[in-house]
């Protein structure tokens, strides 16, 4: 998923000599802060897609399989757009710099698409808009990541990337936490307002960084004709690289099938399997909703509110078997059921956002301590233990029955997220032949994007073939995605044990 690639895109390296790069001035804390502040804006855009896209697409008619196909936008645009834009920006210099034109144009166009998406009138338009959002944000984020090797002295690369990763996590927590936080003060924030917030945040954060950073012009080498490596050359380098790199690619592939099952299907899982709401893409539901919207009667009566409160209470205590009796006893007609489901859908979406906040917050808090533990006990043992948290958390997903249990599951998964974003790249860095970092990293990224396509297509098809009946209508068993994820992570843990960890005191590779 492109939302994740933002934290680790290493493919865009400026063509400067070692002497020229080492002469870059050291940055102050404030300058590093300015450099990284655009990252939360990009994360606002990705967070909305992860948490809320299903709540826009499903009412428009996206069944599980179509929803998965639409999610292919992320990995496909990430694979195509970032390398192309990166190559063009490498050879570009304008009055405002090399990267800034792409960063700004991508952010502004992406913001416009974010504003339009929740108001999409049809599923086709919504699907096309998601592709536009992904393409535009990829146009912005690739060159943005390249600002570090372009403008930061090598002695500060580790620090700068640390700032970026912290800003990445903080951006996710803030973007996903605003609506649930406002709800505590009885200030509801609907999906449309959250997308508007994200569009504004994307533009403002990117503008701030663009105005406060300085780009250094790429030197022009006279009389030197550089041979440009081809994609075939890159694959030859990869094929001849250390076998431990090939093993690591297999581990990465398995882990990212599991991770993307969570990112793509978490919100539908909470909406349909925890809150027991029906599939809003069905013809029956859409006809009922259209009649409800055309009706001039306000069906959000006290009876609906009372039922809503009792429904939440039963969910919080795990007494799902009593919900059917609740609906019958309260004499809920079709229109009142629609009103109830709309309130519950918003509640379930807030719970999904809180679960993602817990996931990112735990990862944010553990990222630095786990780094020290890796230095003391080794990368592979710490990585193995953290992945066990993820595999076990997902294994229990089908048996969870309360919203709080879903949030705790995601908090446990956050332990692994703190290591997945760093340890594989650190191990890869230990074995990469010097001078071929870009080629190896570019191919390694395929083992992140490739699994996303599997999670978005095959897993979506499996879910679509497993319907279930809920109290309020028919739905699908979205927890299957988490069982598949758990199995893939367990397989990844086993494969990890076959990798030989190189004992190194430091890594001078730039990621």
Question: Averaged over 259-281, what is the pLDDT?
Answer: 92
Residue 236 burial by Cβ neighbours in a 10 Å radius (0-12, 13-18, 19+) = middle
Provide the pLDDT for residue 15: 46
Q: CA–CA separation, 134 vs 498, rounded Å?
A: 36
Confidence of residue 511 (pLDDT cuts 50, 70, 90): very low
DSSP 5-72: HTTT---------HHHHHTSPPPPHHHHHHHHTHHHHHHHHHHHHHHHHHHHHTTTT--HHHHHHHHT
pLDDT at residue 126 above 50?
A: yes
Contact 27, 89 (CB under 8 A): no
What pLDDT does residue 77 have?
Answer: 77
- My answer on whether 205 and 241 are in the same domain is no
The answer to whether residues 178 and 71 belong to one domain is yes
Does residue 251 sit in the same domain as residue 123? no
Residue 73 pLDDT more than 60?
yes
Asked if residue 367 belongs to a domain, the reply is: yes
Find the mean pLDDT for residues 52-77.
Answer: 87
Give the residue, 436 or 319, on which the prediction is more confident.
319
Do 277 and 128 share a domain, yes or no?
Answer: no
Same domain, 152 and 23: yes
The conformation of residue 497, written as its DSSP 8-state character, comes to: T
452's CB contacts (< 8 A; 6+ apart) are 1, 71, 72, 74, 75, 256, 260
Confidence of residue 294 (pLDDT cuts 50, 70, 90): low
Least confident of 133-147, 328-342, 464-478, 493-507: 493-507
pLDDT range class, residue 124, cuts 50, 70, 90: very high
The model's pLDDT over 374-383, given as tens digits with 9 standing for 90+, comes to 778 888 899 9
Does residue 222 lie within any of the structural domains? no
In 3D space, the residue among 136, 142, 138 whose CA is nearest the CA of residue 113 turns out to be 136
In a domain, 304, yes or no: no
For residue 352, is pLDDT > 70?
yes
Decide if pLDDT at 16 tops 60. no
Could you tell me if 419 and 477 lie in one domain?
yes
* Average pLDDT over all residues of the chain: 81
pLDDT the model gives residue 158: 59
Asked if residue 438 has pLDDT above 90, the reply is: no
Task: Determine the average pLDDT of the residues in 308-328.
Answer: 85
Tens of pLDDT, residues 234-244:
677 677 777 88
What is the average pLDDT across 127-138?
A: 90
Q: Is residue 9 part of a domain?
A: yes
DSSP-derived 3-state class of residue 467 = strand
For the ranges 259-268, 343-352, 421-430, 460-469, which has the lowest average pLDDT?
421-430
Look up the pTM and report it: 0.82
Please tell me whether residue 468 adopts helix, strand or coil conformation: strand
* pLDDT at 82 (0 to 100): 63
**Neighbour-count burial of 302, counting CB atoms closer than 10 A to its CB (0-12 exposed, 13-18 middle, 19+ buried):** exposed
What sign does the CA torsion over 33, 36, 37, 40 have?
negative
Residue 410 pLDDT grade (very low, low, confident, very high; cuts 50, 70, 90): very high
Within-domain flag for 328 = no
| pLDDT band of 227, cuts 50, 70, 90 | low
- Domain holding 39: CATH number? 1.20.1250.20
Q: Is residue 118 helix, strand or coil?
A: helix
Per the structure, the count of domains in the chain is 2
Task: State whether 2 and 51 are in the same domain.
Answer: yes
In a domain, 269, yes or no: yes
Question: Whole domain around residue 129: which residue ranges?
Answer: 1-215
Of 184, 215, 246, the last residue of a domain is 215
Angle at 387 between CA 386 and CA 393, to 5 degrees: 100
- Has residue 10 got a pLDDT over 50? no
| Position 135 in a domain | yes
Same domain, 124 and 246: no
Looking at the structure, tell me whether residues 211 and 244 fall in a common domain.
no
DSSP per-residue letters across 311-355? HHHHHHTT-GGGHHHHHHHTT--HHHHHHHHHHHHHHHHHHHHHH
Distance separating alpha carbons of residues 329 and 306, to the nearest angstrom: 12
Neighbours of 99 (CB within 10 A): 28
Query: Where does the pLDDT of residue 506 fall: very low under 50, low under 70, confident under 90, or very high at 90 and above?
Result: very low
Task: Report, in angstroms and rounded to the nearest whole number, the Rg of the chain calculated over CA atoms.
Answer: 24
The reported pLDDT for the residue numbered 296 is 58
Same-domain status, 256 and 379:
yes
Which band of pLDDT confidence, cut at 50, 70 and 90, is reported for residue 6?
very low
Q: Dmax over Cα atoms in the chain, in whole Å?
A: 85
Considering the domain architecture, whether residues 91 and 168 belong to the same structural domain is answered as yes
Confirm if 115 and 202 have CB atoms less than 8 A apart.
no
Helix and strand element counts for the chain (H, E): 22, 2
Is 264 in the same domain as 179?
Answer: no
Question: Could you tell me the pLDDT band of residue 117, with boundaries at 50, 70 and 90?
Answer: very high
pLDDT digits (tens, 9 = 90+) for 384-405: 999 999 999 999 999 998 999 9
- The answer as to whether 341 is a domain residue is no
pLDDT of residue 228: 54
Name the residue with higher pLDDT: 328 or 406.
Answer: 406
Other C-beta atoms closer than 10 Å to the C-beta of 466 total: 13
Q: At 475, which helix (H) or strand (E)?
A: strand 473-476
| Confidence at residue 13, expressed as pLDDT on a 0 to 100 scale | 42
- Residue 462's pLDDT is what? 94
């Amino acid at each position: 998923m492109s939302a994740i690639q933002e934290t680790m895109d290493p493919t865009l390296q400026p063509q400067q000599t070692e002497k020229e790069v080492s002469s870059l001035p050291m940055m102050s804390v404030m300058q590093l802060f300015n450099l990284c502040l655009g990252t939360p804006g990009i994360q606002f855009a990705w967070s909305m897609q992860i948490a809320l896209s299903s709540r826009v697409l499903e009412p428009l008619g996206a069944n599980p399989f179509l929803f998965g196909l639409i999610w292919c936008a992320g990995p496909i645009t990430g694979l195509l757009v970032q390398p192309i834009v990166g190559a063009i920006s490498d050879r570009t210099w304008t009055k405002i710099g090399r990267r800034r034109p792409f960063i700004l144009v991508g952010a502004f166009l992406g913001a416009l698409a974010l504003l339009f998406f929740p108001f999409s009138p049809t599923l086709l338009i919504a699907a096309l808009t998601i592709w536009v959002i992904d393409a535009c944000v990829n146009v912005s984020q690739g060159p943005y990541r390249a600002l570090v090797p372009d403008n930061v002295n090598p002695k500060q690369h580790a620090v700068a990337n640390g700032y970026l990763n912290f800003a990445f996590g903080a951006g996710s927590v803030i973007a996903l936490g605003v609506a649930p936080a406002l709800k505590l003060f009885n200030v509801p924030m609907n999906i449309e307002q959250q997308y508007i917030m994200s569009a504004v945040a994307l533009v403002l954060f990117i503008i701030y960084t663009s105005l406060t950073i300085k780009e250094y012009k790429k030197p022009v080498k006279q009389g030197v004709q550089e041979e440009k490596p081809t994609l075939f050359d890159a694959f030859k380098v990869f094929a001849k690289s250390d076998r431990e790199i090939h093993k690591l690619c297999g581990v990465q592939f398995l882990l990212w099938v599991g991770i993307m099952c969570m990112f793509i299907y978490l919100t539908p899982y909470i909406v349909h399997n925890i809150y027991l709401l029906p599939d809003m893409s069905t013809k029956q539901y859409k006809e009922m909703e259209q009649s409800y919207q055309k009706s001039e009667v306000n069906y959000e009566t006290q009876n609906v509110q009372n039922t809503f409160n009792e429904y939440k209470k039963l969910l919080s205590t795990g007494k799902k078997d009593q919900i059917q009796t609740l609906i019958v006893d309260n004499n809920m007609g079709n229109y009142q059921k629609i009103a109830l489901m709309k309130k519950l859908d918003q509640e379930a979406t807030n719970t999904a956002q809180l679960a993602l906040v817990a996931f990112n917050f735990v990862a944010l808090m553990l990222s630095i301590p786990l780094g020290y533990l890796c230095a003391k006990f080794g990368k592979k043992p710490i990585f193995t233990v953290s992945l066990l948290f993820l595999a076990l958390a997902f294994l229990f997903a089908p048996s969870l029955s309360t919203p709080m249990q879903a949030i705790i599951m995601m908090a446990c998964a956050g332990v692994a997220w703190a290591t997945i974003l760093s340890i594989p790249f650190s191990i890869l860095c230990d074995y990469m032949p010097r001078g071929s970092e870009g080629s190896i990293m570019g191919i390694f990224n395929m083992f992140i994007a490739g699994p996303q396509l599997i999670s978005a297509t095959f897993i979506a098809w499996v879910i679509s073939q497993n319907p279930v009946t809920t109290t309020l209508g028919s739905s699908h068993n979205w927890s299957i995605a988490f069982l598949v994820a758990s199995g893939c992570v367990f397989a990844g843990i086993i494969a990890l044990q076959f990798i030989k960890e190189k004992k190194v005191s430091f890594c001078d590779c730039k990621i």
